A = this chain, B = another copy of it.
Amino acid sequence: MTMEKKITVLPGDGIGPEVVASAVRVLQVIGKRFNHTFQLNYATIGGAAIDQHNNPLPDETIAMCENSDAILLGAVGGPKWDNNSPELRPEKGLLRIRKHFDLFANLRPVKAFASLLDASPLKREVAENVDLMIVRELTGGVYFGEPRMRTENGAIDTVVYSTAEIERIVENAFELARLRNGKLCSVDKANVLETSRLWREVVEAKKKDYPDVQVEHNLVDSVAMKLITNPGHYDVVVTENMFGDILSDEASVITGSLGVLPSASIRGDNFGLYEPVHGSAPEIAGQGVANPAATILSVAMMLQYSFGLKEEAAEIERAVSAVFNDGYFTADLARDGSRILSTTEWTDKVINEIDTSF
């Protein structure tokens, strides 16, 4: 079954354009090999969009995304825009695109590559075999709750969740757990927060529909420990926006490199935004040394979650893993005896791996 898909590409700032260029090459090779047509349209977001349109998420970008099947994003941000007012900061583009497209489910898989574990701060026996998925609610909670403002003598922010918002993300996590190893850990702070008590109730109610999924509730502070002491314990972890931000970044250290972690931000239908977990790394931008693995793996997530192309996604994952196993790394993962490749050279290896396996 061949497919025709329209993808909006938002390279963004810093190393964004470089890693996106690599991922696009891999995508096109997959298209050729499996007979799909991926039509790419480029637009701006973040700092690049502020520079060109004085708006971190221009209307043209929104319109183009609305007219496409998925979005591929590089990264946004950099010192150039650090002192801008909140509305003119690159990350505002990210927050707005999530909200505009109602991309409420942020999927962040953390899977250890055996060949990278020397770079992990964790002992090999703790990190190996880790294969977990953090499902972070992405369009609610304290990120968007009102009021958020200065008061007479201070400031306030508001954590807001509707039951419906919790239900849809929790369902999403249950469905994922069912497709994986059937274990779900719901994370909250129910001993302190009212929103967390509601969250826990929703999970308890939903679990009746998923008798095949084993559910545990755990407090965010406790999970912050266990993600490091025993990450192998987890399969799917579901949590609210702020806790998810912290825990998913924390979990990202397990693999030994932010440079290999993809993410998907999806909604009820198949539309989604795919981006690497790492940032725009302005300090190494333009040098051709960035690690494109996370963006390439984000394309694999796009194929799987937005287009249902499992075999194609698996082929990318296999190729990336094979290149690491062959001992080829970009500079961020360099170690004694490894071969250091540029962004383009490393991408060539992945593409060759895909080609030669026809």
Annotate A233-259 by CB proximity to B: 1 below 8 A, 0 otherwise: 000000000110111111011000010
The answer to whether A194 has its CB under 8 Å from any CB of chain B is yes
The answer to whether A3 has its CB under 8 Å from any CB of chain B is no
Annotate A145-183 by CB proximity to B: 1 below 8 A, 0 otherwise: 100111001111111111111100000000000000000
What are the 6 closest A-B residue pairs judged by CB atoms, nearest first? Answer: A154-B162, A221-B249, A224-B250, A155-B198, A157-B159, A155-B194
Interface residues of A (CB under 8 A from B): 86, 89, 91, 95, 120-123, 126, 142-143, 145, 148-150, 153-166, 189, 191-195, 197-198, 220-222, 224-225, 228-230, 242-243, 245-250, 252-253, 258
28 example contacts (A-B, Cβ-Cβ < 8 A) are as follows: A120-B123, A121-B229, A122-B122, A122-B228, A142-B142, A142-B193, A148-B193, A150-B194, A153-B163, A154-B161, A154-B162, A154-B195, A156-B158, A156-B160, A157-B193, A158-B159, A159-B159, A220-B245, A221-B245, A221-B248, A224-B246, A224-B247, A224-B250, A225-B249, A225-B250, A228-B250, A229-B253, A243-B246
Closest Cβ of chain B: how far from A317's Cβ, in Å?
23
With a 10 A CB-CB cut-off, give which of A155, A162, A193, A229 has the most chain B CB atoms.
A155
Closest Cβ of chain B: how far from A346's Cβ, in Å?
22
